[in-house]
Amino acid sequence: MKLFYALSAHVASAFADNIEIVGGTEAAVGKHLYVTSLRLSSGDTTECGGSLIAPNVVLTAAHCNVEINGAIKYAGETIAIKQQIVHPKYNKNTNAYDFAIFILASNSKQTPVPVSFDTVGANVPVVVRGWGATSEGGSEPNALLELTINTLDNTKCASLLSGYNVDSTMICVGGQAGKDSCQGDSGGPLTIETNGQESLVGVVSWGIGCAEANKPGVYSRISAARDFIEPYLTSSPTAAPTTAPTTGPTTKPTTVAPTTKPTTTKALLSVERASTATTQLERVA
C-alpha cells in the first residue's frame, strides 16, 4: 500500500546529499509499514525517507524540507501534506537538530511506529531501513532494505569525523566497511528493539561517503528533540504549535553549505508500504 503526496521540493544537505542502505537485506514483507519514501516525480529515485509517528504525522530530516504544491492523485490511500515544520534550532551548516514534521491532511490507515525518548548509549544494536541505493552512486533496490549495526561513542565518532560537527543532538552508527546508510534514505528511521518492541530512536541525517571504514553514519538523536516531537504524538495535531522559533547555534560551523544555488523541482512524497516484496511506483504529472 502506498500514499503519494505531490510537492515542490529541493532536497539538499551540507554533507552527503542523500542517504542509502549499503550491505542490508530485504525487510520482512508486511512489516515496518511506517517507513516512507520521498521521490521526485521526474524519476524513480528515492530522495528522502521518513517515519509515520502518528496517524497524520511523518517525522523526517529538516534538510528534506519541501515546499507544498497543489493536488495529489493516486488510486488507493491518498493523503496530502497539509503542513511541514522544521525544528526551530535546525542549523543547516552543522546539521544540528536535523528534524522536520510533515502533518498530513487526513489519517493514514497504517500503524505508526512507537517513539522512544530514552538516551541510546554506545555499542547498542540498532536498525536502519530504507529504499536507498546499495552502493555509493549505485542503483536502488526493489524492496525495503534493513541493516543492523551498532551505535558508536560520540567522542570516538567526532575523532573519526575530524573537521565535521558531531554533537549531543546526534547518534553515530557503524563505521564498518561495507555496511552503512548512503544516498537516498535521509530522514529515514533508526530503530531499536527492546523486549520485542520496535521503537524509533533516530533519523538518518548525514555521512561522509558510503560504507567506508572508520566513517560512521550520523543520525539525529530523537531524545534531544523531545520537546519538539512529543506534542505531535499525543494529539496528532492538524496544525503546528504556535511557539516562536529559537535561533540556531551561534558558534562558527565546522563545515559550510554548498555555494551553488539550489534548484526547485516538483516532487512526490510516497509513503511506500512493504505489502509486497517489490516497490510499485506511480508518478504525479
**Scanning the structure block, which residue is given the C-alpha cell 555499542?**
123
Count of CB atoms situated within 10 Å of the CB of 102: 29
Query: Could you give the percent of the chain with pLDDT greater than 90?
Result: 33
Q: What is the pLDDT of residues 109-159, one digit of tens each?
A: 888 999 999 999 999 999 988 764 444 444 444 567 788 889 999 999 999
Q: What is the pLDDT of residues 76-117, one digit of tens each?
A: 355 677 888 999 999 999 999 999 998 888 888 888 999 999
186 is catalytic: yes
What pLDDT shows up at residue 86? 96
63 is catalytic: yes
Residue 237 buriedness (CB in 10 A; 0-12 / 13-18 / 19+): middle
Strands 35-40 and 46-54: antiparallel
Catalytic residue among 98, 167, 180, 185: 98
Catalytic residue among 186, 205, 220, 270: 186
Cell of 160: 573519526
Q: Has residue 285 been placed in a domain?
A: no
Q: Has residue 141 been placed in a domain?
A: yes
C-alpha–C-alpha distance, residues 184 and 210, integer Å = 11
Asked whether the beta carbons of 182 and 211 are under 8 A apart, the reply is: yes
Half-sphere exposure of 8 (CA within 13 A, CB side): 8
Q: What is the pLDDT of residues 189-219, one digit of tens each?
A: 999 998 888 999 999 999 887 656 788 989 9
Residue 208 buriedness (CB in 10 A; 0-12 / 13-18 / 19+): middle
Q: Is 60 left (phi over 0), alpha (psi -120 to 50) or beta?
A: beta
Q: Has residue 211 been placed in a domain?
A: yes
C-alpha–C-alpha distance, residues 79 and 68, integer Å = 13
Q: Has residue 279 been placed in a domain?
A: no
98 is catalytic: yes
Cell of 104: 498530513
Q: Has residue 284 been placed in a domain?
A: no
Q: Where are the beta strands (DSSP E) in the chain?
A: 2-9, 21-22, 25-26, 35-40, 46-54, 57-60, 66-68, 81-86, 100-104, 125-130, 145-152, 170-173, 180-181, 189-194, 197-206, 217-221, 265-272
Q: What is the pLDDT of residues 38-48, one digit of tens each?
A: 665 444 555 67
User: Length of the chain in residues, anyone?
Assistant: 285
Task: Tell me: pLDDT of 169 over 80.
Answer: yes
C-alpha–C-alpha distance, residues 162 and 184, integer Å = 24
Q: Is 184 left (phi over 0), alpha (psi -120 to 50) or beta?
A: left
Q: Has residue 164 been placed in a domain?
A: yes
Q: Has residue 224 been placed in a domain?
A: yes
Total structural domains in the chain?
A: 1
- Which residues form the domain of 259? 2-272
Catalytic residue among 13, 32, 63, 185: 63
Count of CB atoms situated within 10 Å of the CB of 257: 17
Task: Tell me: pLDDT of 65 over 90.
Answer: no
Asked whether the beta carbons of 95 and 14 are under 8 A apart, the reply is: yes
Cell of 167: 554533537
Q: What are phi and psi of 233, to 5 degrees?
A: -85, -40
C-alpha–C-alpha distance, residues 37 and 2, integer Å = 10
Q: What is the CATH number of the domain that holds 71?
A: 2.40.10.10
Q: Has residue 277 been placed in a domain?
A: no
